[in-house]
Amino acid sequence: MKPSRIDVSIDSLVLDGFPAGQQRRIGAAFRAELRRLIAAGDVSAPAGPSAVPRVDAPRVSVAADAPPRTVGREVARAVYRGVWG
């Protein structure tokens, strides 16, 4: 059964090699895509509060000239797969 609410807190999303301006746009795209995936997906949450100390997400490959929105989406999809399969 899908819970009525899932709270996700990410302490840090490390984006090495991207300029600060792109990091903010990547982060915004990441948040939007993760929110969309959770809302649309078949996710479950544990019965009580739980913490996942680290997510081993699949490697993300994007073109060197990929726009920040594409990078953020792909990172969100990898994190989603790492947590919910």
Confidence of residue 72 (pLDDT cuts 50, 70, 90): very high
pLDDT in tens, 10-39: 888 888 888 888 999 999 999 999 999 988
The answer to whether residues 72 and 28 touch, using CB atoms and an 8 Å cutoff, is yes
Confidence of residue 3 (pLDDT cuts 50, 70, 90): low
Query: Mapped to the 3 state alphabet, what secondary structure does the chain carry?
Result: CCCCCCCCCCCCCCCCCCCHHHHHHHHHHHHHHHHHHHHHCCCCCCCCCCCCCCCCCCCCCCCCCCCHHHHHHHHHHHHHHHHHC
Share of the chain above pLDDT 70, in %: 87
Q: What would the mean pLDDT of 38-56 be, rounded to a whole number?
A: 73
